[in-house]
Chain A
Amino acid sequence: MTELKCPERGNPDRDEAAFEDLYRRTYGGLLALAVATVRNRSLAEDLVHDAYAQLWRHWASVTQPAAWLRRAVVSNCLKSLRTQRRREAIIRRQATVPVTTAPDDKAFLDLLAGLSERQRLAVTLRYVLGLHEAEIASVLGCRPGTVKSTLHRAVRVLRARMEDEPS
Chain B
Amino acid sequence: MTSADNRAKAVMRAYADNLRPPPVADIIARADDTPAAQQLSATAPPRFRGHLVLATASVAAAVAGVAVVVAWLPDQGTTGATGAPQPSASTAAVRMAPACPPDLPVLEGPFAADGKAARPSAEPGQQLTLPAKITVTESDRRLLTFQVYLLPSGADMNERDQAVARTAVMEVSPNQARISPVLQIPTGLAPGAYDLVGYATFPSPSLCGVANKADSTQVGTIWGVLGSVVIE
Chain A positions near chain B (C-beta within 8 angstroms): 16, 19-20, 23-24, 27-29, 31-32, 42, 45-47, 49-50, 52-54, 56-57, 76, 80, 83, 86-87, 90-91, 94, 104, 107-108, 111, 123-124, 127-128, 155, 158-163, 167
Chain B positions near chain A (C-beta within 8 angstroms): 2-5, 7-9, 11-13, 15-22, 24, 26-28, 30-31, 40-41, 43-44, 118-119, 121, 191, 230, 232
- The answer to whether B16 and A32 touch across the interface, beta carbons within 8 angstroms, is yes
A50/B118 contact (C-beta < 8 A), A27-B21, A32-B12 known: yes
Q: CB-CB < 8 A to B11: which residues of A?
A: 107-108, 111
Secondary structure class of chain A's binding surface, majority of residues? helix
Residue of chain B at shortest CB distance from A76: B118
Distance in angstroms between the alpha carbons of A52 and B119 in the assembled complex: 16
Can you offer 28 A-B residue contacts whose CB atoms are under 8 A? A16-B24, A19-B28, A29-B16, A45-B41, A46-B43, A49-B27, A50-B30, A53-B27, A53-B30, A53-B31, A56-B27, A56-B31, A80-B118, A80-B119, A83-B232, A87-B232, A90-B191, A91-B191, A108-B11, A111-B11, A124-B12, A127-B8, A159-B2, A159-B5, A159-B8, A161-B8, A162-B5, A167-B7
Q: CB-CB < 8 A to B5: which residues of A?
A: 155, 158-159, 162
CB distance from A133 to the nearest CB of B (A): 14
- The answer to whether A162 and B16 touch across the interface, beta carbons within 8 angstroms, is no
- The answer to whether A104 and B27 touch across the interface, beta carbons within 8 angstroms, is no
* CB-contact partner of A28 in B19, B44, B118, under 8 A: B19
What would 16 more interface pairs be, CB under 8 Å, given A127-B8, A159-B8?
A: A20-B24, A28-B20, A46-B43, A46-B118, A49-B26, A49-B27, A50-B118, A53-B30, A56-B31, A87-B232, A90-B232, A107-B15, A111-B12, A155-B8, A160-B4, A163-B4
Q: CB-CB < 8 A to A104: which residues of B?
A: 15, 18
A56/B28 contact (C-beta < 8 A), A111-B11, A161-B8 known: yes
CB distance from A165 to the nearest CB of B (A): 8
Among all A-B residue pairs, the 7 with the closest Cβ atoms: A42-B43, A32-B16, A162-B4, A27-B21, A53-B31, A56-B31, A28-B19
Q: CB-CB < 8 A to A27: which residues of B?
A: 19-21
Q: CB-CB < 8 A to A91: which residues of B?
A: 191
- The answer to whether A127 and B21 touch across the interface, beta carbons within 8 angstroms, is no
CB distance from B108 to the nearest CB of A (A): 16
Q: CB-CB < 8 A to A161: which residues of B?
A: 8
* CB-contact partner of A162 in B8, B20, B191, under 8 A: B8
Distance in angstroms between the alpha carbons of A49 and B31 in the assembled complex: 9
